[in-house]
Every structure is written in structure tokens, then in C-alpha cells.
Amino acid sequence: MTPLAELTTPALLLDVGVLERNCEAMAERAARHGVALRPHLKTAKSAEVARRATRGQGGGLTVSTVAEAAYFARRGFTDLTYAVGIDANKIEALHGIQRASGARITLLADRIDAVQAANSRARVLGATFRVLLEIDTGGGRGGVGPNDDELLSLAHEVQRSESLSLAGVLTHAGHSYHVQGGTAIRAVAEAERAGAVQAAGRLRAAGMPVDVVSVGSTPTAVCAQTLEGVTEMRPGVYTFFDLDQAARGICGVEDIALSVLATVIGHNPRSRRVLIDAGALALSKDQSAAEFRSGLGFGLVCHAGGTVPLPGLCVAELHQEHGLIACDGDGDGDDDGVQAMFRALPVGSRVRVLPHHACMTAAPYDRYHVVEGAGSGVQAVWDKACGWQAGA
């Protein structure tokens, strides 16, 4: 076991006990609703996390980059939904992954011209893919509306193609990240469910096959009252949770499995700041939780031995490789508070920072340092996917 004091910082820490508790709770929730769980691994990008999220059964996963698809296929996960609207330029790489691993990669489309381009490229390669139609149930990012005429036209285009086959519909309630409280999130969850089921019903009424009715987002997965008519859900950040989820009551701070270990590298009495060696690239500049809770800065600060936030401290500023910790009231002449912060965080000591958005924070790192519980050293190192290309 490697002591945290021996790690080069910044380092990404993952508490496996909290991870496993989060994974078990979501698996039980999916079972209670009678739907399959197809976790979105864009958050973790890790086979070890995927094994825990699928209870070691090698179940279906959701990915959002070609690099993730290649990484998971090489590690035995062969049922992959690539949940980003398809770009024909990626067909060759995805076909190569299928051919090398035996994986089945399901594509996503919401435009007729995208379907035509993907089919044209796949036909040249002798490739085949299943396709899910993306449905917009209020998020406004991508997809066609459940009532749009384009839905049936899009489905017919897939059916006419030589290399693509219609698998069903998929939606993502991304707007659930901008509402707070169980009542509001449940309303979004119901709109997500109802819109996907409605779209599936229209396709079936037109004589087209719909095997998959897929919904996703951690807030709606946690708060949905019913998933009637749905076949699978695709939450992702629930594996780690973060301050964004905690700020809206989706989880508690004690459910956050991910943190960044950093070293205190200086005290600046003029700016009344503690400097750490984790900056914008190590923590990300995402402040999503600030929409619902103040005082979080760019992350909450904990002693290295655990993940209980130190009262009144946060990462207040970020530069590329520097983070600046401040305390409440430091702008009001509270010299005693600043000096107490300097004493609590001496130069050379280690801190953990809890992130706003686990997905953004984890993405640049190439490994997890796995710990368990307060005061634990590193028990294991887990690899992860990085970047966008298949060879990454």
C-alpha cells in the first residue's frame, strides 16, 4: 500500500468503498423499475469501474468517444452504445473496433443526412450497425421531438439503408441538471420517460421495430417514479457523484467517491491565499453546483486523510497549474481566519479537493489511485481511457 504522502500531485483519488455503494444502489434502483442498467462510462472511462457498475456481468455500456469504445471493447465489453450523434468520418474507426473485438456498437442519429452519410461509408467498408433515433424530450441539445414528422422520415431512412438497422429510441434529460428539488426533477423524469415512450409508440404504429427505449441522466434515474415503457436507463455520474449532484440533494457529500490530491506549495499573506499545485487542468473550471449552492468556489477542501470538507475553505481561484484556497471572510479583514488557515494547511501538507463535476475533473487523468475510507493509502492503480482517438 502506497502512502498518499508518496504520490506525485496532482493525483486523482477514487474511494472504492463509496464507488461500490453507489453502483449497488443504482443497480437496485434499475431492478426495482424493471429496466436494464446501461451505465454511461464517459464519467469514469475505466474498465474496473465498469465491472462494478455492471456487477461483473460484462453488461452493456454507454460511451461518448471512439477512444472509450476501443478501450472497453479491448477489455471485453462488447455491447456498446455510442451516444453521440454519428459523424460518418468515425465509421471506419468504429468498424475496426467491431471487427477486432467482436463488439456490437450501436449508433445514434437525429438527421437524415447524417444517416445517409453513415450508411454510404459503412456500405463501402462492408460494415453494419444498429441505430437509435435521438429524441429531444426537453433538453434542447440534439434529437427530434416525439411528435415531429421528421421522426418517421428519419426512421424510414434508416430502414431503407443497406448497412444500418433500426434498434429503437434514446433520449437524455440534460435539463434535469438545471432544476432543484425532488418535485421538479421528478417532473423532468416523467417528461423524459413519456417522450421516449411516445416516440417508440409512433414508430411501432408505423410498423417499425423498436427493441430499445433508452432514457438517461443521474438525476432522473434517482428521482423517477415510474419507467413504464422504458427498456433501459443510462446514468453516469452516479458512480462517483460530485458537488453538483450534492448541491441539489441527489446525493450527500459523503457519497462523493472522487477527489483530487494536491500539495500546499505556498502561503501568500498579501492575497490571503494558500497555494496548491492543482489548477484549472487538474480540477476543471466547472462551477455547475454554484447554480444551487454558494461558497463552493472551484471545489471544497479536505485534509488528505478524508473527504470531510474543512469549514469555510474552498478553492477560490484557478490558474493553469495553481489553485488558490481562501477562507470565508478573508476579504473582510479577518486576519485571524487567514492565519488559522495557514496553520491548518502548512506548506508541504496534502489536501483533497472535492470537484463540482466529476466527469470534467476525471477526464484529463490517465489513472485512478484507489483508496478506501479515511486515512487509507493507495491500494491499487486503475487505468482509464483518455482523449478521442481509437488508439488513445
Enumerate the H helices of 126-181 as residue ranges.
Answer: 149-160
User: Cell numbers at residue 88, please?
Assistant: 460518418
Cβ neighbours for 283, distance < 8 A, ≥ 6 positions apart: 10, 260, 298, 299, 315, 318, 323, 353, 355, 361
263 bridge partner residues: 350
* Calpha distance 297→356 (Å, rounded): 9
Say whether pLDDT at 375 is over 60: yes
**Secondary structure of 322-379 in the HEC alphabet?**
CEEEEECCHHHCCHHHHHHHHHHCCCCCEEEEECCCHHHHHCCCCEEEEECCCCCCEC
Question: How many angstroms separate the Cα of 239 from the Cα of each of 188, 189, 251?
Answer: 21, 19, 11
Check residue 134 and give its pLDDT: 98
Query: In the predicted model, what is the mean pLDDT of residues 220-237?
Result: 97
Cell of 367: 489513472
Taking the C-alpha atoms of residue 324 and residue 333, their distance in angstroms, rounded to an integer, is 18
Q: What percent of the chain has pLDDT over 70?
A: 98
Q: And the C-alpha cell for 86?
A: 454519428
Could you report the per-residue pLDDT of 341-364, keeping only the tens digit for each?
Answer: 999 999 999 999 999 999 999 999
pLDDT of 174 reads 83
Output the pLDDT for position 390: 84
Residue spans of beta strands (DSSP E) within 52-103: 61-63, 79-85
- Which pLDDT score is estimated for 242? 98
Using the predicted structure, report yes or no on whether residue 252 has a pLDDT greater than 80. Answer: yes
Residue 168's pLDDT is what?
98
Q: Which pLDDT score is estimated for 348?
A: 98
Give SS3 for 16.
helix
The secondary structure element, H or E, covering residue 267 is strand 258-268
According to DSSP, the β-strands at 11-15 and 258-268 are antiparallel
Query: Which residue carries 423532468 as its cell?
Result: 188
What domains can be seen in the chain, in order of their start residue? 17-239 (3.20.20.10), 253-380 (2.40.37.20)
Give yes or no for residue 177 having a pLDDT over 70: yes
pLDDT at position 328: 86
Find the mean pLDDT for residues 311-329.
Answer: 95
- Fill in the DSSP letter of residue 6: G
DSSP letter assigned to residue 181? S
Give the pLDDT band of residue 331 (cuts 50, 70, 90).
Answer: low
Burial class (CB in 10 A: 0-12, 13-18, 19+), 152: middle
At residue 35, the 3 state secondary structure works out as coil
**Could you tell me if 93 and 118 are in contact, meaning their C-beta atoms sit under 8 angstroms apart?**
no
Question: Is 65's pLDDT higher than 60?
Answer: yes
Where residue 58 falls among pLDDT bands split at 50, 70, 90? Answer: low
Mean pLDDT along residues 370-374:
92
pLDDT in tens, 156-175: 999 999 999 999 999 999 88
Take residue 353 and report the three cell numbers written for it.
479537493
Tell which residue, 253, 251, 248, 250, has the closest CA to residue 179.
248
Q: In the prediction, which pLDDT does 307 show?
A: 94
Cis amide leading into 3 (omega within 30)? no
Q: What is the pTM of this model?
A: 0.95
Q: What's the pLDDT band for 155 if we cut at 50, 70, 90?
A: very high
Q: Can you tell me the distance from the alpha carbon of 39 to that of 54, in angstroms, rounded to the nearest whole number? A: 8
pLDDT of residue 111: 97
**C-beta of residue 276 within 8 angstroms of C-beta of residue 262:** yes
Q: Which pLDDT score is estimated for 371? A: 97
* Residue 135 in this model has a pLDDT that exceeds 80: yes
Render pLDDT for 73-107 as a digit per residue (tens, 0 to 9). 999 999 999 999 999 999 999 999 999 999 999 99
What are the cell numbers at 55? 456487477
The DSSP element (H or E) to which 21 belongs, if any, is: helix 16-33
* The predicted structure's pLDDT at residue 303: 96
What is the pLDDT, as a whole number, of residue 333? 64
How much is the pLDDT for 151? Answer: 98
CA distance 92 to 141: 26
Residue 392, pLDDT score: 54
Strand order in the sheet with 79-85: 36-37, 232-233, 212-215, 164-171, 129-135, 104-109, 79-85, 61-63
CA–CA distance from 288 to each of 12, 74, 246, 281, 322 (Å)?
20, 34, 11, 16, 20
